[in-house]
Amino acid sequence: MQQAASKKAILYAMLFGVSVFLLFPFYWVLISSVKTVDGLSMNPPMLYPSEFRNVDRELPAAGRIVEAGGDSWFRLARSPDLGAERAGAGEPGAYYVRLNEDAPSQLTRWWSDTAVSRLSPAAARITFAGSEVVALETDGRRVAVVSRMIRQSDSGFDELLFVVPPDGEATEIEILSNVDYSRVTRWKTRFENYPETLRGPEASFGEESTGFLKFSRNSFFIGVMAVVGQLLSSSLVAFAFARLKFRGREVLFVLLLATMMIPGQVTLVPLFSIYKSLGWIDTFLPLIVPHFTAGAFNVFLLRQYMLTLPRELDESAQIDGCGPLRTYFFVILPNCVPVLIVVGLFTFVATWQDVLGPLIYLDNPEYRTVTLGLEYFRSPYVDNRHLLMTGAVLAMLPVAVLFLFFQRFIISGVATSGIKA
């Protein structure tokens, strides 16, 4: 009994591990959809919505503004030139950060007292905006880094950190040399990603845009029409191959399956030329009409399922006076509901996720599909990675809902055979 319980526990543990492994990509996309841009850029990546903690620190400017080398500088801390290995290294001086219009820059250097001249500050306080908060591994203190300097030394490179407490009043700046530290993170969610994504890609940089809901409506319309076309055409062709007897049936079926070996890229240019001559470019027709001509894989799936249905069904229909079409509509199709749902799901998902077709045939922003709209969130000028992940979640929801409602039909439609008495 105990051995059986142990085996059962191990089995459940393995199933749980596999489930976590398979669901982790969905979890990652979901949490990334509510992260900030800085949160997505964190290294190493975090498993929850977060970002590095930054603070704004103000320091008094009185007596600390000098001029040196033709620029204004703010004194960080008085100290000998810690990293210099040259004559005069012990000369009195201080570390300064250069000011650009009373704002600290990224340039920090040491000046001797004889090389600077005192200036009257234009502002009472200098603000160090976005200072990183780090945790020192030596004593566990948390400090805000207002400036840093990397400089070469005989042993390689030295890193000097100029730090103050992250909270409260601060007047003096401490210099830390070559210390081990880690950046402090904080929980940060950004649910504004969703309304911003719904406004569309161009809206992220201030332009008028077709909303993401319009993209979803376009994709939904194309997907529904594609499903209707595939179900009607593929089931009718499959019925002919499965239930009707005519000369050359097997040869034609093999030729139909052989078309599955032709890559779509081979027919891309000829199809584009045909659609252009018909005036279908920049319309939904190239994305819908081909689905009314039956797909080889769907025909194969439906035919194999129809072959498992008893022939007595056709014979009973003939006795009742049904012809082939009435038998198809009123006898065969009602018994093929599971496989029809599978074909519909496969068709809708393939259409919903199609990028190449809309990219080639659609140009009007009003006609963009979900996948095409997501592509436009990728910009070389604006970092929209957070909106791209949010759009991926919105694009994934309809497909997830469909599989949630119709998952029980997938196995029965593909794996089962015949009808149960």
| Residue spans per domain, the chain | 54-183, 197-415
pTM, entire model? 0.76
pLDDT tens profile 146-195? 998 887 776 677 888 999 998 887 778 888 888 899 999 899 999 999 99
Neighbour tally for 15: CB within 10 Å:
10
CA distance 292 to 222: 12
Please name the fold of domain 197-415. MetI-like fold (1.10.3720)
DSSP of 170-185: ----EEEES--EEE-E
CA distance 112 to 90: 10
CA distance 133 to 420: 68
pLDDT tens profile 308-367? 888 888 888 888 888 888 888 888 888 888 889 889 999 999 999 998 999 999 988 889
CA distance 385 to 405: 31
Low-confidence ranges of the chain (pLDDT < 50): 86-88, 417-421
Answer whether 199's CB lies under 8 Å from 353's CB.
no
* Per-residue pLDDT, 237: 93
Identify the H or E element spanning 39: helix 37-40
CA distance 118 to 68: 9
